[in-house]
Amino acid sequence: MTIRLSRDQDLEAIVQLFTDSVHHATAAHYDERQRAAWAPLTPDLNEWRARLAASKTLVSESDGVLNGFLSYRDDGYIALLYSSPRSLRKGTASALYARAERELLAHGTRSFFTEASLLARPFFASKGFYVVEEEHVLRRDVAFRRFLMRKEVEDPAPTGA
C-alpha cells in the first residue's frame, strides 16, 4: 500500500470510491434514500473538485488502484475518510489516518475533529476521538444522523533539561 497526496487526475477515482463506499459499506446504517442523497449515482465533479480543493487529500493505492482517501485541513478537521468496500478492515483507513495525524502534529495541530457517520464512529473512537454531540443534518432534503467527534493530543514532553 502506498500513501501519497492526491493529484488532479485522481478526482474521478476518488469520487467513484466515495460513491461505492457509501452505497455498499453503509447499507446497514443508512437506507437507500439516505445513501442516494449522500452520494448521488451521478456525482457533480465540479462540486467535488471544489470540495477537495478546500483540504489536503491523501490517497492510498495498491497496484495502481485507489483503495482509500482522507481529506483534512491544517486546523485538525478530518473532512473525509473513505475506504473502498473491498478494502474495509484491511488497515487502509488506519494507515491514512496515521499519516494525516503525523502531518498535523508536525504542523503543530493538537486538536482534531470530524463529523462521523454511524459506520465511522467506532473507527474514530478507536483512534481516541470522543463524541461531542450527536447531530441530525439534512443533505438534499434527507435527514441523517452523525456525530461531532473530537480528539485532543497533549504536547510532547520536552526533552533534555
> How far is it, in rounded angstroms, from Cα 42 to Cα 107?
37
Domains annotated on the chain, with CATH: 2-110 (3.40.630.30)
Per-residue pLDDT for the chain (161 aa), expressed as one digit of tens each? Answer: 899 999 999 999 999 999 999 998 888 889 899 999 999 888 899 999 999 998 999 999 988 889 999 999 999 999 999 998 877 677 899 999 999 999 999 999 999 999 999 999 999 999 999 999 999 989 889 998 999 999 999 876 555 54
pTM of the model: 0.90
DSSP 80-106: EEEE-GGGTTTTHHHHHHHHHHHHHHH
pLDDT at 86: 79
Query: What is the Cβ-side half-sphere exposure of residue 23, based on CA atoms within 13 angstroms?
Result: 13
